[in-house]
Amino acid sequence: MAAILGVSSAALYGFLYRSFSHQLNHQLRTLAQAAVPSLDTVKTEGRRSLDEDLPWRDLFLYKEQSLEWFDDDRNLLARQGSDFPDIPLSKSLPSTDPNPGLPEIQYRGQLRVMTIAVYADDLDGKTLQLEGYLRASQSTQRMNATLNHLRLGLGLGGVTALCLASISSLYLTRQAVKPMQQSFQRLTQFAADASHELRNPLTRISIATEIMMGHPDQLKPSDIKKLTTITHATEQMKRLIDDVLFLTRTDAAYVPMARKESADISLHEMLLNLAERFESQAQVKGINFQKRLLINLSVKGNANQLERLFSNLLENAIKYTRKGGRVTLSLNKYRQNAIVSIRDTGIGIPSEYLPFVFRRFWRVEQSKAQDGNGFGLGLAIAETIAKQHRGEILVNSQEGIGTCFQVKLPLT
Ligand code: ADP
């Protein structure tokens, strides 16, 4: 809007400046041409003739106009008016080559000066003879004052138009966005309600299977296999529903966690507990698990959520690292932030996929084939939790070499 207003104001100003300038030149040319017949008289009778013969006052359109008469040797013969340019006649004016159509325009301070060469028929009547010069001047003060007013008007008008446009566009945007916000809220509410409702039948299924599995003697071996598959699928669906529920709930009210809602959490303690849990998982898979945790670092937040964040990252690190590899969990301090790093020597993520890893339901093709359990929500949840704690997650990875996730959280 500012650019449009700026360009159109500049175009309007340019157009008016040109037309005022042309008008001024036209007035000067008319004045000089009106005085042409008098040059001969001034040359013979001197400036006295001006006072006697001609009603000069009527020729001047404004009081700031003036006229000067010069002979063919560029000597000043007479002058009429108030403001005169203190410069000699321009050297570039034609003296021998008659070209009466081209007046010479000069600028001197606030004065615009126009000089025309005057020619008369020679004695033979065939050639033109230079008779002298006429120089008309006019102050550009009046034009400049009008242009100043115009600039001020355009500036004030532009600012007012911008303010009005901003206010009205803010209002219109809010009006236009309202239905979208409402439908987005309805959608997230629906997803949250649907996920919540789905949990009940799943819980009933898992209770029923658990009861049946509690009496293996009454089951055929093939039924036990089927029930195990059902239990596994039910658990997977429950996890998926929990994840979707978490994300839709945070979408519906996406605000960083209020300070008073959160408690002081010792990261060292929390990570130590998690390390114990994941160390045994890593051992089972033949992975070397290491930890380097700085003590006395605490953050404000929700302990369950932060545990979920670090668990997701540790789970991935173990899941995507092969036997004989290494997973390192470290906690450090950098300025006023705690930095939790989870580094692995696993399969890594191809660099072209790195920008997508935090997207919902996004998985590297290779991972889909390797592990059917994931849904591609773990990192999305981790990022949401980090943001809710006013932190961020960074990822660094090289295919075939390993991956490092760094979680930055503000310290209390
Ligand atoms: P998933 O449940 O599939 O693990 P995530 O959101 O946790 O979902 O991860 C998304 C994808 O990012 C994974 O499918 C995997 O391809 C890739 N990924 C995440 N962590 C790692 C890691 N430590 N090493 C290699 N790839 C990873």
Tell me the domain boundaries of the chain: 2-139, 148-252, 259-410
373/370 Cα distance (integer angstroms): 9
198-245 confidence digits (pLDDT tens):
888 999 999 999 999 998 888 888 888 999 999 999 999 999 998 988
Check if 378 has its Cβ closer than 6 Å to any atom of ligand 1.
Answer: yes
Which residue has tokens 């600039």? Answer: 151
346 neighbors 326 (Cβ within 8 angstroms): no
Instruction: Rounding to the nearest 10 degrees, give the CA dihedral for residues 378, 405, 315, 269.
Output: -110
* Dist. CA 143 → ligand 1 center (Å): 72
So what's the pLDDT on residue 196?
84
234/201 Cα distance (integer angstroms): 10
Provide the β-strand partners of residue 411.
299
The CATH number, out of the four listed (3.30.70, 1.10.3470, 3.30.450, 2.20.25), of the domain defined by the range 2-139: 3.30.450
46/40 Cα distance (integer angstroms): 10
Q: Which tokens in the block code for residue 43?
A: 């040359």
360-384 confidence digits (pLDDT tens):
998 887 666 566 677 899 999 999 9
Check if 357 has its Cβ closer than 6 Å to any atom of ligand 1.
Answer: yes
So what's the pLDDT on residue 188?
83
Q: Which tokens in the block code for residue 10?
A: 């500049």
Check if 317 has its Cβ closer than 6 Å to any atom of ligand 1.
Answer: yes
So what's the pLDDT on residue 259?
55
- String of DSSP letters for 162-231: HHHHHHHHHHHHHHHHHHHHHHHHHHHHHHHHHHHHHHHHHHHHHHHHHHHHT-GGGS-HHHHHHHHHHH
So what's the pLDDT on residue 386?
95
Residue 65's pLDDT band (cuts 50, 70, 90): confident
CATH number of 148-252: 1.10.287.130
Whether the predicted model's global pTM rises above the 0.85 cut: no
272-322 confidence digits (pLDDT tens):
999 999 999 999 999 999 999 999 999 999 999 999 999 999 999 999 999
So what's the pLDDT on residue 330?
97
DSSP tally for the chain: helices H, then strands E: 10, 12
Check if 403 has its Cβ closer than 6 Å to any atom of ligand 1.
Answer: yes
Protein residue with least CA distance to atom 25, ligand 1 = 348
**Domains 2-139 and 148-252 agree in fold:** no
Mean pLDDT of the chain: 88
So what's the pLDDT on residue 367?
64
**Higher pLDDT, residue 8 or 51:** 8
Protein residue with least CA distance to atom 14, ligand 1 = 363
Protein residue with least CA distance to atom 11, ligand 1 = 363
Residue 99's pLDDT band (cuts 50, 70, 90): low
Residue type, 285: K
Check if 314 has its Cβ closer than 6 Å to any atom of ligand 1.
Answer: no
CATH architecture under which domain 259-410 falls? 2-Layer Sandwich (3.30)
Please list, in sequence order, all residues whose beta carbon lies within 8 angstroms of the beta carbon of residue 261, skipping any fewer than 6 positions away: 302
